[in-house]
Amino acid sequence: MENEQRLINGKAMLQRVDAEAADSVMTNLQNVAPDVAKMILEFAFNDIYTRPGLSLQQRELVTITSLLTQGDTAAQLRVHLNGCLNVGLSRTEIVETCIHCIPYVGFPKVLNALTVVTAIFADRED
């Protein structure tokens, strides 16, 4: 596949996951590192996200788990908590995913994630 097609597919995928984020990713990186925005779309949202073998719901569950576990990722959690809801995961599945991580990472990282979850849930009506 040529890069142009990877970019188009990646944009379409990010649009599905979080349409608002799709715009702001490009804007924020435009001045200093526009190539990083392209890599996010081509590599992450085309090469990785469009692979078969996992549903989009599974992918978003894996994504928020990885972000919660590494910490210092409130900005990215915001995008992908919206993404979770946009691809059809329930609020319960999101909260249970956070709770499931407690024995693996301890309470502080889970509480940090739940602070972002609380804010996202309050902002949305679904």
The binder of a second copy chosen from 27, 72, 125, 126 (CB under 8 A) = 72
How far is the C-alpha of 64 from the C-alpha of 54, rounded, in Å? 15
Check residue 24 for interaction with a second copy (CB under 8 A): no
Q: How far is CA 72 from CA 7, 25, 103, 117, in A?
A: 28, 18, 19, 14
Nearer to a second copy (CB atom), residue 67 or residue 86: 67
Q: Choose which of 19, 48, 123, 124 interacts with a second copy (CB under 8 A).
A: 48
- The reply on whether position 101 binds a second copy by CB under 8 A is yes
Q: With binding defined as CB under 8 A, does residue 82 bind a second copy?
A: no
Q: Which residues of 11-25 are buried (b: 16+ CB within 10 A; e: fewer)?
A: bebbeebbeebbeeb
Q: Which is nearer to a second copy, 19 or 62 (CB)?
A: 62
